């Protein structure tokens, strides 16, 4: 039979292991979001015949910086994922505005 001190040590060890696992999971999730925004907000050069839209380059760069800040400052959560998706939607609408109204 374990002593109370041994039980406490086992509980503390298990809690420390779980904390490390949670921290690792959060880092993996943040890296996945960073990879996502590097694709989502990357400037895709215009196809042949399309004029370069430097305003769009600035919009995407600003959105990318904002997304990185959100990932750095917010805990991994459904709300963070929704915020990044909403930002991506905003960039798509800005892109459409620039293309339509130049």
* Alpha carbons 11 and 17: distance in angstroms, whole number: 10
Minimal CA–CA distance to 56: which of 2, 4, 101?
101
What residues make up the domain containing 94?
4-42+50-101
Q: pLDDT tens across 82-97, in order?
A: 999 999 999 999 888 8
Q: Which residues have CB under 8 Å from 67's CB, separation 6+?
A: 33, 37, 40, 41, 84, 87
| Cβ-based neighbour number of residue 91 at 10 Å | 20
pLDDT at 84: 95
Q: pLDDT tens across 25-41, in order?
A: 889 998 988 888 888 77
Q: Which residues have CB under 8 Å from 33's CB, separation 6+?
A: 67, 71, 76, 80, 81, 84
Work out the mean pLDDT of the chain and round it to a whole number.
Answer: 83
pLDDT at 81: 94
Domain count, the chain: 1
The reported pTM is: 0.61
């Amino acid at each position: 039979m374990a002593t109370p001190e041994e039980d406490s040590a086992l509980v503390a060890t298990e809690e420390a292991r779980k904390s490390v696992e949670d921290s690792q999971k959060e880092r993996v999730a943040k890296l996945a979001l960073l990879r996502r925004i590097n694709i989502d907000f990357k400037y895709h050069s215009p196809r042949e015949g399309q004029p370069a839209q430097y305003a769009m380059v600035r919009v995407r760069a600003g959105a990318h910086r904002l997304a990185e800040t959100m990932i750095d400052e917010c805990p991994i959560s459904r709300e963070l994922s929704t915020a990044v998706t909403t930002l991506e939607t905003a960039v798509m609408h800005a892109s459409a505005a620039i293309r339509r109204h130049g």
